[in-house]
Structure 1
């Protein structure tokens, strides 16, 4: 059975991604993770991040644009390779969670 489709992280934000806070918990976590990644990258390109982490440059770009849901393997590889914590701990508390099955 196929998994139900869900909105992309940037669905609520549109052109304001990733600079505007979102009400949906998963989207806000993804937004803050993208901001943390952008900061951790510094002056590195997406290909530079790929060299440091092994995460494909297109995946890095998609995370930054909010057009993918990064999985735990990807996040762990990014954190390890960049030497920083990217996961925005505690962000989901106090946010709503949308039902994507409608």
Structure 2
């Protein structure tokens, strides 16, 4: 894996209080980037009253992958973020 063991733990585990994800900032730059993406995506979905299923259909990204991103359980790849950004029309 690129970066060695840096992604051995999910992003939410790299915050002081994982239960406060995505509100709890992270000192790890990668986890902080994922946190900011999750916050932006969650806000767009909320504003547009879109379900995970609707986001999955519209973006072509698996529903569980979106749920894992929002929950801080996974490290999304660039293609996932790009598809979600294209679908929402927002910079994530």
Matches within 5 A, 1:1-20: 3=1, 4-5=4-5, 6-13=8-15, 14-20=18-24
In terms of fraction of residues, the more helix-rich structure is 2
Q: Note the residue ranges of structure 2 that are not aligned, 5 or more in a row.
A: none
Matches within 5 A, 1:30-69: 30-42=34-46, 43-69=49-75
Residues 19-46 of structure 1: per-residue CA shift (max 9 Å, x gap): 1111111111111110001011122111
Q: CA deviation at 1:77?
A: 0.5
| Backbone CA RMSD of aligned residues | 1.1
More relative contact order, 1 or 2 (CA 8 Å, 6+ apart): 1
1:75 counterpart (67, 76, 81): 81
Measure the CA separation in 2 of the matches of 1:7 and 1:50: 25
Structure 1 moving runs of 4+ over 2 Å:
none
Measure the CA separation in 1 of the matches of 2:84 and 2:14: 25
TM-score (norm 2): 0.85
Look at both structures and tell me which one has the larger radius of gyration over its CA atoms.
1
Is residue 45 of structure 2 the alignment partner of residue 21 of structure 1? no
Q: Note the residue ranges of structure 1 that are not aligned, 5 or more in a row.
A: 87-102
